[in-house]
Amino acid sequence: MCDKWKPTTQAKLGVAIYNYDPVGKGPEFLKLDLGDKVQIQEECAGWYRGFALKTRHKGIFPASFIHLKTSVVKNSGPNEVVEGTQDAVVQELTQLLPEWGELWQKRYFMEDRHGMFVTMWKVILELIDIRSQLLPATLPLDDMKKLKLRASGKIDWGNKHMGLDLVPRNEDGVSVDEAEVSVVALYKMHLRSTQRQIDTNERGTVIRRGKFSSNRLSELLHHVYFSLQAFICNVGEESEIQVALYDFREGRYFSERFIERINRHGMPSNLNHLNNICCLFTDLGNNDVKRDEAYLVCKIIRVGRMVYVQPAAAQQSHSKKEPEYRRPYGCAVLNISQLLGSSRETSDDSKECQLDIYGYNDEADFADLHTHIIRKNNSKIKPLQTDRMSAKIHVAVRLMHGSMAQVREENPLLFRSPVPVARKLGFPDVIMPGDVRNDLYITLVTGEFQRDGRTSQKNVEVEVCVVSENGRLLEDAIISGVASDKTTHYKGVVLYQNNTPLWEDVIKFDIPFDQFYTSHLRFTFYHRPKDAAKALKHGFSLAYVPLMQENGTTLRDNSHKLFMYKCEAALHKSLDPNTYIKLPWRHSDSPPPLPTKGNISYTGRESFEIRTLVCSTKLTQNVDLLGLLKWRQQPGRLEENLRGLMRVSGEEIVKFLQDTFDALFAILDEDADRSGRLVFQCLVFIIRLLGDRKFEHFRSVLDAYIQTHFSGAMAHKKLIEQLKCCLEEARTHPSTEHNNVRVMQALQYIFKFIIKSRLLFARATRGKGAQQFKESLCELFDTFNRLMEVKDEGLLAIQAAGLQHFSAIIQEVLKIMEPDEFAVIIKQFIDSVPKNRLVRFKLLCLGHIVNNDIFRHEECRHILMPMLGLHLASHIKGQSEDQLPKCFEILGEVLTLLQRRDVGRSFENITEIVNQLLIAVLSQVTSIDRTSSLWGHVVACFMAILKLMTDKHYYGFLRNFPGKENLAEFLRGCFAAFFGFVADGSFPADWSAMISVLNHTITASMRFFSESLQTQFQRGQNFNEPLWKLYFDVCIAFVTQPALQLETFTASKRNKQMAIYSDLRVDISKRVLFMWSILAIDQKQLFLPWIVGPFMDMSLVREPEIRRATIPVFYDLMVCEFSQTGDYRQVAAECIDKMDVHVSGAGKGDDAYMDLLYPQLSGLCEKNRELMQAGALEFVENLTQLLGRLLDFRNLQDGDDYSISRMQTIFNLLQYYQETEREEMVIRYIYKLSSLHLQALNYSEAAFSLLLHTSILRWEDLPVSAHAEFPAYAKARCEYELKELIFKDIIEYFDKGKLWECAIPLCKELASQCEMITYDYEQLSQIHKTISKLYHDIIHTVRGTAEYYRVGFYGSGFPPFLRHKQFIFRGKEYERLNEFNQFLLSHFPRAQVLTFNTPPGDEYLTMDGMCIHFHSGCCLLYILPMASNIYYSPMTSLINAEHQTLSCFHSLFGACSLLVSMEGECKAVI
């Protein structure tokens, strides 16, 4: 077709878009189905040559049938790997879903597990949907990450239930290439993936334990998005819907209220809000989302007449517009506690609800109407009706996380138009710099008013305004609610005829900061009668509240009961504040005012109560903090104010963090000589305050302040000076340790201020003073070192704090110092700590250093690695259990770093680790408890070191080893560790990626260890037999481990293994055979016969190349023993025993192995005349025959039916072991046969089986041989006890099988022993009772009759052990012919039944199919007499009678008993 095939360069990966079936075109063509992926290797004239990724079948195929895909090539060469460039999760799903499809049906449909079948089907559909969403790559980044995490969780869950391997993933849930990451990192990924499997529900959804986003604010800030979907309520007039968040347990609102004005037709008054009535309740903290009784309260206020009148009646009675009042109407509530407490994944879904609207029975209860609804107090509430249906509000709520910018970015559709924001009543958990706030919240609580001579109570309306000191009203200073317009006056809700109204109405005031000091709030109270014409034009009382206190602080957050004053009506509209501003304003701290003062009078019988809350980042309620912020106004009180600052509560300081730091650094610049130490102490106090868990989230605020707002260019000199003084003071005066520990705890931010100040100074002076600054820093670090050197016990706390916090300054110092210079300083600091002092904190510091960027610099590692290795080695060798986890954590981080490609040269670093740590880590591998949680990490570190080692590392380490004994000990430890890894399994079986890396590393290491073993311990007196034995153990266990048996893998797993690692078994098997071949014959003889078993195990591996190479070793073993003893009995016996164990017990070997075994061994034996004379060829034939019989037995022993085929295979094996006089093997299969009979309830046959064993046991106190032991009789201490126990079971089985005549002789024999030998008369009496019962059953119990059938099996369709043989079957009791016929056909459904009585002709003997010839009416002329060479048991005994072979059986084939097997014409049966 084409002679010039060229390797492809671009076309590497493709998908078949048509079916291609090259029928009749030759084997070189590749058959393709639609959708098959192909890897293309060559091209020529419109044709491709390559292979299908699914089947690995190779061939050529037309290029027009292939759609090419972009790809990348890995591992170029013979094991070239081509991968698509799609997203990793999409690619994984593409490869995985077809594999799942096959396994899913086999695993659940075939096994009739309908529940899991349906569940798995739903998961597959979900993954297909996820793949379709990921494929276009058009989703926002965060949505993509969430989808990938969701997909990875379901994949891991499905793999677990499908029996597939665990996939290692990074923190984003994307699978990783195990060849690209370190062993330690891979181990951690497996742990994380395992935990992810545990944290999945029944559909594979990951239950996240933490927020996916790395943004710290997403863990601290939360928001509730509210949307009003529909308002189904006919109020009749205009109305307001007020929405706020309410805590029922605390009895208060914790958010601003959102207000939407609705017209009389139920539509938004602002048409721009049509279909977009929404609000975002923001600034919620972690404590807010943990509220267990949080509610969304929707209150409805009617805006209109005092008493509602139907529109028609209103038009008739009133022609002009009447004044409008805010009147109560109804309320609805929604419990959002579950929404706030939901996980971050489920909280992304909106919760839509229909809320019933309730009215009141008593208007006075309107303020508490929501609490009555929550309590379901039906006496206080009533459901409202609209057009004969319940009034409802349809709402949707959703919980969001993160900063406002993040929320808007993640939800662009929700925020496509402006969304009103309702803030928290109070400060959020994080106050960012630049977040200026100056909000005042007033809650109108209640009032108490007089009738003033009226017969009925008043309809009280309160009007609020903000008044300046000159009497001018502040315009637009009041915000009644979010989304409502600012107003100058606020009018409260009017309660009809109520002199003690309860409002609970929250109002927000937006007062400019500069007017806060001179303004006050004035409350005016009006009576609003039902008849609008009679309404008063002026108020009847007033009250006021000043916003600032006399000491300069703002109004306290508290409840305030206000004095009420009356004045002349004419003064209400133009009332001068000077007439009342000096009067007492509240009851708590003022005496009762005089009854009358000018135009103002006080009656003392009216009162008004409010609650206040100030949220200001500029105004404080603390006198000490205020004194600091205004320190320039009172310079004489500076020291007092600084000391007072350290008494201020943290809640107050964090609100004014920026202003506080600005004031402190201003003092440090202007008055450092007098107040420098106090300022430094204040800085330490605040920094430590932010280190408290309660305020730790404000560290981001401090970071932002230092980065963008800090401007103290001269502060670094003062800070360094004060820090040095503290360190020197701590060293010379240990009594001050407590205060200086706090300095160490604040060290990170002290250095941040120092470095930032220096950078600001350098920018301002163009780098002036750089050398002096560096020298001062070096002097400061010398002070640190002198402090750490002191061994005074009183300094332990400050030294521990220094070690704990020193690493936090590294990143800052690197901004102004070269990394290698600072690495020297770090080394000196660590070395200054005395040995065995503060070990835990020293390791903690080392761990932080390793994780710092400085350790990624090549020059810095060269400086730090010797010091690091020395410390780690000393602590690992010390085997301190408390420190080992931290040591290996640090070592793991180092090894992970050195695996990376972006950290420069690492050869010298690896050399340091190998020389200092390899032996110490190996000692831990061999000594640590495997059940310890640390075991896996230690193994990962050990293998990571070996993986990093190059040829030079191995040769340099092994050749320079100090002494052969030490080298032997090292190799012994490595071999023992490797053997434990591969034989016992270091990791779970589904960690295939981890196990593959481990095996690949072992393969590479064994190459160098083999050379060392050969050169150092093979010749002469240096030969080390135990070490060589351990070497063979390791290598053969490696080759035979289940994790490397590629034949048992799925196609995709096998292809991946071959592409990345090839077949590791071949390399190790070649090496072990080479090592065996170089041994002298006398050295080989030392390993006989033990070595036969391991080599037998290795030869049975299903890899033809390994088999062909290993089988000749058995000939070599025969020659070794023959040259020493003149025979090969030990090798032969061991071959037979191990073949039985491995083939019938472990399920190894197959027909292909048998086809190789005889030709290879016989061909070698034929070349050795001495072995031929010793019967070697006969042994090979017998061994091959045994293998065939073992394969027959193994292939049938796991079947569902107790069939003649299985019985015949056991007969063949017993016949072989009798002929070869292998008593222990005979006993082994006797018990297997007995167990089979008992499972089928064939008690008589089971008894005959056990009777065989008793024939070789004696009534003597001889120890039981190992091969005669059986678990059921493990308590027998000698042959006498064993035989006695077996006799009792045999008698019981004969009794159950109604073969009482056979049980009586055994009872008599047992009775004779009790009477004449042991004198156990108690047991003797029981035996005689048993004999009596047996005789009674013989006489009185009816035994059913059975029909006998002669059955022959003809045709090549039957297995060899049944083909052309006849059997006599005993049917069940009263079984009919047609039932027996159906029984046979149920086991051989494809067989043809022959019912004629004449023997079948030759055409039936040579046919390809199966024929069963049987007829009934056979009868036994005689029963074979009991003789020494005849066993009445399921086992067949050979009897030579007239050169005919008679085999006597008692066995059950389903429901029939087999009596006689005949070869040729059997004369015992007619």
Of residues 312, 330, 311, the one with CA closest to residue 390: 330
* pLDDT of residue 768 exceeding 80: yes
Look at 226-240, 590-604, 831-845 and tell me which has the smallest mean pLDDT. Answer: 590-604
* pLDDT of residue 1460 exceeding 70: no
* Cα–Cα dist 982/272, whole Å: 72
pLDDT of residue 538: 62
**Omega before 1089 within 30 of 0, i.e. cis:** yes
* Cα–Cα dist 914/247, whole Å: 62
Amino acid at 200: T
Output the six-digit token pair for 1190. 């073992």
Look at 186-195, 939-948, 1437-1446 and tell me which has the smallest mean pLDDT. Answer: 1437-1446
Which pLDDT band, with edges at 50, 70 and 90, does 569 fall under?
low
* Cα–Cα dist 881/924, whole Å: 11
* pLDDT of residue 1107 exceeding 50: yes
More confident residue, 993 or 1379: 993
Under DSSP, the state recorded for 188 is: H
Q: Where are the alpha helices (DSSP H) in 594-637?
A: 623-629
**Best-predicted range by mean pLDDT (131-135, 474-478, 641-645):** 474-478
pLDDT of residue 895: 94
* pLDDT of residue 598 exceeding 50: yes
* Cα–Cα dist 383/397, whole Å: 23
Look at 89-103, 368-382, 740-754 and tell me which has the smallest mean pLDDT. Answer: 89-103
Amino acid at 190: H
* pLDDT of residue 1416 exceeding 90: no
More confident residue, 577 or 1010: 1010
Which pLDDT band, with edges at 50, 70 and 90, does 542 fall under?
confident
Q: Report the SS3 class of residue 764.
A: helix
Output the six-digit token pair for 81. 């790997």
More confident residue, 1347 or 570: 1347
Task: Provide the Cα torsion 1259, 1264, 1269, 1275; round to 10°.
Answer: 80
Amino acid at 63: A
Q: Quick: pLDDT tens for 1054-1078.
A: 888 888 888 999 999 999 999 999 9
Q: What is the largest CA-CA distance in the chain?
A: 150
* pLDDT of residue 1238 exceeding 90: no
* pLDDT of residue 1470 exceeding 60: no
**Best-predicted range by mean pLDDT (245-259, 609-623, 1393-1407):** 245-259
Q: Map tokens 């032997």 to a residue.
A: 968
* pLDDT of residue 280 exceeding 90: yes
* Cα–Cα dist 373/333, whole Å: 7
Percent of the chain with pLDDT over 70: 88
* pLDDT of residue 320 exceeding 60: no
Output the six-digit token pair for 320. 């002009």
pLDDT of residue 331: 95
Average of per-residue pLDDT values in the chain:
83
Q: Quick: pLDDT tens for 503-525.
A: 999 999 988 888 888 899 999 99
pLDDT of residue 181: 87
* pLDDT of residue 84 exceeding 90: no
pLDDT of residue 880: 66
Phi and psi angles of residue 1417, each rounded to the nearest 5 degrees, phi first? 90, 5
* pLDDT of residue 1458 exceeding 50: no
* pLDDT of residue 539 exceeding 80: no
Which pLDDT band, with edges at 50, 70 and 90, does 1220 fall under?
confident
Output the six-digit token pair for 424. 């928290």
Phi and psi angles of residue 1392, each rounded to the nearest 5 degrees, phi first? -95, 130
* Cα–Cα dist 1061/1000, whole Å: 7
* pLDDT of residue 1265 exceeding 80: no
CA 1467 to chain CA mean position, Å: 72
* Cα–Cα dist 1126/1119, whole Å: 9
Of residues 158, 145, 31, the one with CA closest to residue 97: 158
* pLDDT of residue 368 exceeding 50: yes
Its pTM stands at 0.72
Look at 310-319, 365-374, 994-1003 and tell me which has the smallest mean pLDDT. Answer: 310-319
Which pLDDT band, with edges at 50, 70 and 90, does 1442 fall under?
very low
Segment 1362-1389 mean pLDDT: 77
* Cα–Cα dist 400/280, whole Å: 10
* pLDDT of residue 1006 exceeding 80: yes
Which pLDDT band, with edges at 50, 70 and 90, does 1 fall under?
low
**Best-predicted range by mean pLDDT (382-386, 545-549, 1307-1311):** 1307-1311
Segment 995-1020 mean pLDDT: 92
Q: Map tokens 């995490």 to a residue.
A: 149
At how many degrees (to 10) do helices 141-162 and 114-134 cross?
150
Q: Quick: pLDDT tens for 252-270.
A: 999 999 999 998 888 888 8
Which pLDDT band, with edges at 50, 70 and 90, does 689 fall under?
confident
Q: Quick: pLDDT tens for 11-45.
A: 888 889 888 988 777 778 888 888 788 888 888 88
Which pLDDT band, with edges at 50, 70 and 90, does 10 fall under?
confident
* pLDDT of residue 589 exceeding 70: no
pLDDT of residue 639: 82
Look at 440-454, 960-974, 1041-1055, 1265-1279 and tell me which has the smallest mean pLDDT. Answer: 1265-1279
pLDDT of residue 1422: 30
* Cα–Cα dist 1458/1452, whole Å: 6
Q: Where are the alpha helices (DSSP H) in 171-298?
A: 183-198, 286-289
* pLDDT of residue 1357 exceeding 90: no
* Cα–Cα dist 616/438, whole Å: 4
The sign of the dihedral angle between the CA atoms of 1037, 1042, 1044, 1048 is: positive
pLDDT of residue 1363: 80
Under DSSP, the state recorded for 962 is: S
Segment 1355-1360 mean pLDDT: 80
Of residues 1459, 1456, 1455, the one with CA closest to residue 1433: 1459
pLDDT of residue 898: 92
Q: For residue 597, what is the enclosing H or E element?
A: strand 596-597
Task: Provide the Cα torsion 493, 498, 500, 503; round to 10°.
Answer: -20
* pLDDT of residue 1119 exceeding 50: yes
Q: Give the DSSP per-residue string, 955-987.
A: HHHHHT-S-HHHHHHHHHHHHHHHHIIIIIISS
pLDDT of residue 1463: 33
* Cα–Cα dist 236/627, whole Å: 56
Q: Quick: pLDDT tens for 730-741.
A: 888 877 666 788
Q: Give the DSSP per-residue string, 1022-1075.
A: G--HHHHHHHHHHHHHHHH-GGG-GGGS-HHHHHHHHHHT--HHHHHHHHHHHH
Segment 1113-1133 mean pLDDT: 90
**Best-predicted range by mean pLDDT (110-114, 550-554, 909-913, 1127-1131):** 909-913
Amino acid at 539: G
Percent of the chain with pLDDT over 90: 33
Q: Quick: pLDDT tens for 1318-1345.
A: 888 888 999 999 999 999 998 988 887 7
Segment 1014-1039 mean pLDDT: 92
* pLDDT of residue 315 exceeding 90: no
* pLDDT of residue 123 exceeding 70: yes
Which pLDDT band, with edges at 50, 70 and 90, does 1266 fall under?
low
More confident residue, 597 or 1337: 1337
* Cα–Cα dist 474/16, whole Å: 78
